[in-house]
Chains A and B, each alone.
Chain A
Amino acid sequence: NAGVTQTPKFRVLKTGQSMTLLCAQDMNHEYMYWYRQDPGMGLRLIHYSVGEGTTAKGEVPDGYNVSRLKKQNFLLGLESAAPSQTSVYFCASSYFSGSAETQYFGPGTRLLVL
């Protein structure tokens, strides 16, 4: 049981390049989330998904797109990377978003945009 995995672990991009971050979970969770973590700002929600084929915007969605074609995978895309997107990205999943459902986090992807 791998839990939540993220690919890649680290990436360097030039401004304007595109890339896709992959998140996979093997816990049969319905809900999946993408966060970014920046110093002094905690974690901020980018996009989330409440089930296969559905996505929704979080707190900071601009410059990102997502897709949930399969229940176990949640992709985060950067169409044209900007230095402001330099961050650590975390994926998380949970069974649902009920009263106090625990979210399980992946190990993170460090992205540097030059």
Chain B
Amino acid sequence: AQSVAQPEDQVNVAEGNPLTVKCTYSVSGNPYLFWYVQYPNRGLQFLLKYITGDNLVKGSYGFEAEFNKSQTSFHLKKPSALVSDSALYFCAVRDLGGKLIFGQGTELSVKP
């Protein structure tokens, strides 16, 4: 069965430092992977996705994600964190029926 795991409930970073939010996946076949962000009291917003090709995917707001097939990971990264990046981040994988399966979410807190 398809699944994703986000091993960290919370990530804390200082503003200006690089950030990484981790995601690992388990799929049959080629993975289609997504990152979404949820700001307080808002719905989820699409950040980026991996379909095929270049292992480094660039998305919105300066975020990028690195697909690593051997480690079955799709970690979200940003070179320099902003306080406004503080939010809840979800990794998701498309299942065989075309539906999204979400991880449990990682709360990112960026302090000034």
Contacts and interface: CB of A to CB of B under 8 A. Distances in A.
A63 B47 CA distance: 32
Interface of B: 9, 32, 34, 36, 41-46, 49-51, 90, 94, 97-100, 102-105
Residues of A contacting B: mostly: loop
B43 A48 contact: no
Nearest to B9: A40
Chain A contact-residue range equals 20 to 34
Interface string A75-94: 00000000000000010100
Interface of A: 4, 33, 40-45, 48, 58, 90, 92, 96-108
Most buried by B among A33, A41, A92, A103: A103
Most buried by B among A42, A96, A106: A42
21 contacts: A4-B43, A40-B9, A41-B104, A42-B102, A42-B104, A58-B99, A92-B44, A97-B94, A97-B97, A98-B98, A99-B51, A100-B32, A100-B51, A100-B94, A102-B46, A103-B46, A103-B100, A105-B43, A105-B45, A107-B41, A107-B43
Contacts, number: 55
B102 A97 contact: no
Contacts of A33: 99
Contacts of B43: 4, 90, 105-108
A58 B46 CA distance: 21
Given A100-B32, A100-B49, A100-B51, A42 B42 contact: no
Nearest to A48: B99
